[in-house]
Structure 1
Amino acid sequence: MKAWCVRRFGGPEVIDLDDVPVPEPGPGEVLMRVCAAGVGPWDGWIRAGRSVLPQPLPLTLGSDLSGEIKALGDGVTQFAIGDAVFGVTNKRFTGAYAEYAVAAAGMLAWKPQHLDHVAAASVPVVGVTALQALFAQARLVHGQSVLIHGAAGNVGAYAVQLAKGAGIRVSATAGAADLAYVRDLGADAVIDYRTTAFEDAVRDVDAVVDLVGGAVQDRSFAVLRRGGRLISAVSQPDQMLAERAGVEAKFFLVDVTSADLAQLATMLDDGSLTTTVGTVLSFGDARIAHEMLEGTRPRPRGKIVLKVDP
């Protein structure tokens, strides 16, 4: 089979399309024919050697995927051969840019019926990150408030929709070109971060979901109520600033589970959640996808997905 492999860390040029054996599923795993593979910034970090997780070489890139189960490993009883599923390959977030991939059964769910494989492959990591940031980490409930930084990005767009759907008041930051888009997602207040200091527009929120980091993260302590929570999917917050503000602040790594994926699938099927696919490339264009990640090629808003034809 064909797979996009990395044998040394570096830029997009280090990705090679190789012939490799079809993998075999181990206990708790399934073998999937990959119909589509999502491309995310973490793929670029892994390729460049900047992953926070150990990534022994050689490796096959990719984590998000949607496809059809072709074989079951020992102990897998929740799925059957032929099932259409979506999710993530494994906790290392590798192996999906391939014609066939092994995936942990506990990181998969049945594909949303109303989405094709390309749209389904755009969901897993970013959708579950938004879900867990809001509810497992920030522990938000109906009637509370949140400020979401980077609301027009892939995680942010899900976070806005999920928070609004749960009855949470949503303030969000975005660029001028994305203000209308974020409002349409359901944000109650949208702040143009280039022209307005968000500290002047937001006060005493229950939580901040930080998808930007840097100075934006540090400034966010000023808008939290005492006892509030700053949750970052980008970097570890300054604990001295958190203590001074009287808030909880933490960085978290997403833990993709079948249960969370199934919850998102239900919402995608009933129309309470939408996904945005920005760029669909052929399987042979993985390097172009990574050039988009690096910013050396333009890309529209939304997720990059590789379509893997049979």
Structure 2
Amino acid sequence: MKAIVINEYGDKGRLREIEFPKAIPKAKEVQIELYATSINPIDWKVREGYLQGRLPFKFPIILGWDAAGVVSKVGTKVEKFEVGDRVFARPATTERGTYAQYVTADESLVAKMPKETAFIKAAAVPLAGLTAWQCLVDFAHIEEGDRVLIHAGAGGVGSMAIQIAKHFGAQVIATGGSNSAEIAQQLGVDQFINYQSSDFDEELEDVDIVLDTIGGKVQERSFRVLRKGGVLVSIVQPPDEGKARKHDVKAGFVWLEPNGEQLEKLAELMANGELKPQIAKVFDFGQDGLREAHELSETGHVKGKIVIKIKEDEEHKESKENEEESS
């Protein structure tokens, strides 16, 4: 199979297309022929070597954590899936990621895609959607009526979090630049704060939950807007425990855990129109396409998700807009 790998840490030029052997599924695994994957900031952070020592990588590394495709083989003890199922997943593999034509995943990490969803859309969901779910539901225990502040609401995780929070009946506030306002409003935010012209910590108070996707000073200032007993959850860096005690709030860092059951819940939201992945740009699979995708992701100003089209989806042709974006 074709795969895009890195054999050493460095810039986007380290991404190279090679022939790589397909992984044979173990007893409880499925092999997925990939139609699409997507880009996440962790991809280029690993490529640059920022996470050395935190993850057990060995070269050559196939990056990528989002999978959308068709089951091509099943292990001898697989019960939930059969060949031909349209699925999506956040596989738990490290060296064998999703910048490839095939990937294997334990069946517990896989979910069936909604019938009407294209692979391009499904590929945008696993890592960002699960991250948002685990922050808001598992860590913060979001409830109806909660006031939720989501930083960088137009980003990959932020855009998912807005929609998940609205599903639970929360009042949602999002921050972003002036070019993010329209997207945030389309996603259903109740209040948008333009960080270029306003200070969120001067406008807000008594917030129940803050989802920090930025870190640094934004995280520090976020303590000020929380009510006593509120929750600050970050996907960037562990919050200061001393500040959490001072402000009498719960604070913590969430590292995504792959989870097929939660993906099934996200699939339900997609099926009923409550979760609509926001696609920033689509690139074709290949060495050049992945390098361009990494370059765009590294700008830090992507609205929604960057997706890589690996194989044509004959049942759900991409929109003309997406086709133009990928050219």
TM-score bracket, normalised by the shorter chain, equals over 0.9
1:174 match: 176
2:104 match: 102
Aligned ranges for residues 158-169 of structure 1 at < 5 Å?
Answer: 158-169=160-171
Q: Secondary structure at the match of 1:140?
A: coil
1:88 match: 90
For residues 94 and 249 of structure 1, do their structure 2 counterparts lie closer, same or farther at Cα, with a shift above 3 Å needed? farther
Q: Distance in 2 between matches of 1:309 and 1:273?
A: 24
Q: Distance in 2 between matches of 1:300 and 1:207?
A: 24
Q: Distance in 2 between matches of 1:91 and 1:225?
A: 39
Aligned ranges for residues 1-310 of structure 1 at < 5 Å?
Answer: 1-51=1-51, 52-90=54-92, 92=94, 94-284=96-286, 285-295=289-299, 301-309=303-311
CA drift of 1:104 comes to: 2.2
Contact 2:239 2:252 in 1 (8 A): yes
Contact 2:91 2:258 in 1 (8 A): no
Q: Distance in 2 between matches of 1:195 and 1:182?
A: 16
Q: Distance in 2 between matches of 1:182 and 1:215?
A: 22
Cα deviation digits, residues 251-306 of structure 1 (max 9, x gap) = 011112111111111111111111111111111111111121223xx986221111
Q: Secondary structure at the match of 2:211?
A: strand
- Give the TM-score taking structure 2 as reference length: 0.90
Q: Distance in 1 between matches of 2:106 and 2:290?
A: 23
For structure 1, the 5+ residue unaligned runs are none
Task: Compute the RMSD of aligned alpha carbons.
Answer: 1.6
CA drift of 1:91 comes to: 5.2
For 1:35, give the aligned amino acid: Y
Sequence identity (%) = 36
Q: Secondary structure at the match of 2:132?
A: helix
Contact 1:279 1:299 in 2 (8 A): no
Q: Distance in 1 between matches of 2:19 and 2:301?
A: 29
Q: Distance in 2 between matches of 1:260 and 1:74?
A: 24
Q: Secondary structure at the match of 1:215?
A: helix
Q: Secondary structure at the match of 1:301?
A: coil
How many pairs are equivalent?
A: 308
Cα deviation digits, residues 177-209 of structure 1 (max 9, x gap) = 111221221111111111111111110111111
Cα deviation digits, residues 98-157 of structure 1 (max 9, x gap) = 111112221110012121111110111101111111111111111221111111111111
Q: Secondary structure at the match of 2:69?
A: strand
For residues 245 and 300 of structure 1, do their structure 2 counterparts lie closer, same or farther at Cα, with a shift above 3 Å needed? closer
Q: Distance in 1 between matches of 2:76 and 2:49?
A: 33
For 1:58, give the aligned amino acid: P
Q: Structure 1 runs of 4+ off > 3 angstroms?
A: 91-94
Q: Secondary structure at the match of 2:229?
A: strand
